[in-house]
Amino acid sequence: MLEETNKKSLGFYKKPVAAGKASFNLKYSIVPKKPNQSILLRRMESMDPGIMMPESGRALKHVEGIEVISEWINSL
């Protein structure tokens, strides 16, 4: 079985292509061990329609989902 070890191929330290204000002036989508520096988590926490992730279909923050992703990023 092959296992990917290149962190960029796994999405870590990946620079956003067209995030605009959704990047929060952060550099990378996912920064291992640093959820607060990860665009992914910031977008999940946002309620701004131009920033939030997913972009549609929600009116509330998914607190448990945010906690799970934060713990996952901390574990990397």
What's the number of domains the chain is made of?
1
- Residue 51 located in a structural domain: yes
Q: What is the pTM of this model?
A: 0.82
pLDDT reading at 1 higher than 80: no
Query: pLDDT of 29-38, one tens digit each?
Result: 999 999 999 9
Sequence-separated contacts (24+) of 72-76 with Cβ below 8 Å: 73/30, 73/31, 73/32, 73/33, 73/34, 73/35, 73/38, 73/40, 73/41, 74/33, 74/35, 76/12, 76/30, 76/32, 76/33
- Residue 1 located in a structural domain: no
- Residue 58 located in a structural domain: yes
DSSP 19: -
Query: How does the average pLDDT of the chain come out, rounded?
Result: 88
- Residue 2 located in a structural domain: no
- Residue 5 located in a structural domain: no
Query: pLDDT of 59-73, one tens digit each?
Result: 888 999 999 999 999
- Residue 33 located in a structural domain: yes
- Show the domain range for 67: 20-75
